[in-house]
A and B are shown apart, each in its own frame.
Chain A
Amino acid sequence: MGNPTQTIKNKENFPLEYDAIVIGSGISGGWAAKELCELGLKTLLLERGRNVEHVKDYPTANLNPWELTYRNNNTNEDSEVNPIQSRAYNEGNKHFFVNDQENPYTQVTPFHWIRGYQMGGRSLTWGRQCYRLSDLDFEANLKDGVAVDWPIRYENIAPWYDYVEEFIGVSGQAEGLPHLPDGKFLPVMEMNDLELFFKEKVKNEFAGRCVTMGRSANLSRGWKGRGACQYRNLCSRGCPFGGYFSSNSSTIPAAIATGNLTIRPFSVVKEIKFNKETQKATGVQVIDANNPDEVFEFSAKIIFLNASTIASAAILLNSANDYNPDGLGNSSGQLGHNLMDHHFRVGAQAQYDGLKDKYYVGRRPNNIYIPRFRNLNEATKRADYIRGFAYQGGAFRQNWEDIGTGLDDFGESFKQKITEPGPWSMVISAWGETLPYYDNKVSLSRSKKDKWGLPIVEVKFNFKDNERVMRKDMQSSAVEMLEKSGMTKVSAFDYDNVGGDCVHEMGTARMGADPKTSVLNKFNQMHDVKNIFITDGSCMTSSGCQNPSLTYMALTARACHYAFNQLKKGNL
């Protein structure tokens, strides 16, 4: 772990003026810092947590299972002190999650806000799955009459998907599907024997469905100075080989290399300052995380807000002023609203009685993927819900973890059974699109404040009928595919799924063509305040069912180049 007391030395000489300020160093903020620095702008990257340097600050990355006191299990203290974060963390990666006691928020309805306040944010612990949206997604709101239309189409973002994929390195298989466009892929990872068997069965039994290898930001070969994935499957502890993409391993080092980047950790953003004469933001007011009495004000020509969906909305709501009484850039009244998260943890698992002579080598940090097959066209249209879902999953031979406690045995015969490869199993689990609802929202408490004196966030979130009805299909289709593939002991599951569990928060500052109904324009630029750009998940007008980080990265790079050109033209 990095030094938690580390703070800025030489405070008096810390420069206060920049060309650009980026708020947040997670997956989109890292990209903003890289692009703006490479374009030649003197850029300040603000991070509210501690610094985490690639490799050096990955204290658990090389530990064997027996080197963890609780063998990667959480303790009672974890669930008492961190009832929210401990749902997502384990003994090996808990240092990359916030302390719930120090970072309170109010659940108006149950919502699990999983956070990582450190350099690199949640890009250290993300799931690394990378899927492009398509016009099926960009046109969906318009066609369904839901919320507002996206102001962009696939052709606007496609070159930027290329651009970011070429930098981050995504392993995957081109499939030629119009609704899940292919990318610039590194060599695909292998499937194991049962996955190959399942792929063939699905192809034969289900017209229009496809089983492909997950498209993952894990390097199937060395790339851009980073080492290939070593198949340890310990990604969320940080990878000493640089085998997966994170801000820490990739974008922040690239930004530093330009000589244009200044990093300030322990910087809690209080508000963005606004000049009503120019109608522009002038800078950012920051509280020192370790010393709440110290407040700085940094100024810049442009500001990229990448604090994450809920936090970005909270910063803007807290930046209300006489001219923007409901929050900065909130003339539409949409700021903080339309919060989305994917719904998941529903699907089926099964066993397969064959392939007993087959096994595999290595711990692949990736899964198989079954792209969306519902509501693609008239032929696949559902009467009972709109949009769709995709499956992630995989096959494995059961080991001691799966079979041990269930065996009615002990002694030598028990030992034999838990140390040999068990039966083949297969799990497929669905990720479903959630619609944007105005009343799913982020707001600020009027009375409660955190230790930095900032109003704490209130979250109200509910899944609704479209998600509930879709969920039944997510489960029954999984059962159907496993059964028709000749698997046995097929069993369905539907775990309790609370908003936030998927850690795909989106939508609180949506893009749209009309300033009256949206917060951002087609370049992620605030309608109301032209020199503020928001390119984290808050910009999303709809959620798709694809894991969204790749889209944030592409939109960020695109917005940075647009902002730079506007700045050059003197428009900002």
Chain B
Amino acid sequence: MNRKTALKRIVLLTTGLVAAAGGVKLYQAYKKPGLVNLDDYQKLIDELADVIIPRTNTPGAKDVGVGDFIINMVKDCCSRQNQNSFIQGLGDLEAYVKDKYNRTFVACTIDEKIAVMKYFQNKSKNNNGTIAKASRKVLGDPFFWILKKYTLIGYCTSLNGATMALQYDYVPGKYIGSIAIKNEQKGWATR
């Protein structure tokens, strides 16, 4: 029945055993996550998301309130491993910023924020080998991936993201199979 499901993009299927997962890592991944603390991180999450999708001539992630959505998703829709990975990642990031710049992320300059995000983006790389994939399945996705994924979804499905950065048609009323692309054509927010 669900035609959409069948047409969905290919999901990476992971097989094979995990060799790399040591005991401590496993504990970190599967322990009961401290989800109540997430709300305290809202301002930080908003700032992080805003570096991923900044304000330009259209609103940024912070403008559309992506933080609320990210917290909802991590609390209610993430695997336990990803919840732990995300919370651990927030702590790691704060510690890294403190160590490197001796202030909070929120207080950093935009260049410093970008440098921090680059660091965490790089940390999330080298994750496409067979062992890395299998390890991800057991230990969870890297912090940066989770942050970026929910920033993306939260932004593009928000009122101002969908209608200002993208184009959204509530009731199209018609289907036209062929139109010419305009200059600075925006993509459709939904399909």
Q: Which residues of A contact B (CB under 8 A)?
A: 64-66, 69-77, 87-88, 114, 122, 125-127, 129, 189-193, 195-196, 230-233, 344-345, 347, 349, 356-364, 367, 392-394, 396-397, 399-402, 404-405, 408, 410-412, 414-415, 418-422, 427, 429, 491, 493, 495, 502-504
Contact = CB atoms under 8 A, between A and B. Distances in A.
Contacts of B176: 190, 360-362
Given A349-B9, A356-B181, 20 more contacts: A64-B159, A114-B1, A190-B176, A190-B178, A196-B177, A231-B173, A358-B178, A361-B172, A362-B172, A363-B188, A396-B191, A404-B148, A405-B145, A405-B148, A410-B52, A410-B148, A411-B54, A419-B165, A427-B7, A495-B11
Interface in B106-153: 114, 117, 121, 125, 145, 148-149, 152-153
Interface in B71-97: 72-73, 76-79
B52 A363 contact: no
B157 A367 contact: no
A362 B187 contact: no
Looking at B58, B76, B162, the one whose CB has the most chain A CB atoms below 10 A away is B76
B181 A360 contact: no
Contact of B76 (A64, A76, A367): A76
B76 A70 contact: yes
Contacts of A364: 175
Contacts of B32: none
Looking at B1, B73, B181, B188, the one whose CB has the most chain A CB atoms below 10 A away is B1
Given A65-B190, A70-B76, A230 B159 contact: no
A190 B172 CA distance: 14
B6 to A, nearest CB: 5
B166 A502 contact: no
Looking at A71, A77, A345, A363, the one whose CB has the most chain B CB atoms below 10 A away is A71
B10 A493 contact: yes
B48 to A, nearest CB: 10
Interface of B: 1-3, 5-7, 9-11, 51-54, 56, 58, 69, 72-73, 76-79, 114, 117, 121, 125, 145, 148-149, 152-154, 156-159, 162, 165-166, 168-181, 185-191
Contact of B56 (A360, A400, A415, A493): A415
A508 to B, nearest CB: 18
B181 A75 contact: no
B185 A71 contact: no
Contact of A360 (B157, B170, B177): B177
Contacts of B179: 358-361
A418 B156 contact: yes
Contacts of B148: 404-405, 410
Looking at A233, A359, A421, the one whose CB has the most chain B CB atoms below 10 A away is A359
What 10 pairs between A and B have smallest CB-CB spacing? A190-B177, A362-B175, A503-B1, A362-B172, A65-B157, A192-B177, A361-B176, A404-B152, A71-B157, A231-B172
Nearest to B53: A415
A125 B11 CA distance: 24
B185 A231 contact: no
Contact of A66 (B78, B162, B178): B162
A344 B6 contact: yes
Nearest to A78: B77
A191 to B, nearest CB: 5
B152 to A, nearest CB: 4
Contact of A411 (B1, B10, B114, B190): B114
B72 A70 contact: yes
Contacts of B174: 231, 361-362
Contacts of B185: 359, 420-421
A408 B121 contact: yes
Contacts of A191: 177
B177 A195 contact: yes
A197 to B, nearest CB: 11
Contacts of A393: 7
Nearest to B184: A420
B178 A419 contact: no
9 contacts: A64-B162, A65-B190, A190-B177, A359-B180, A399-B187, A399-B188, A399-B189, A405-B145, A419-B187
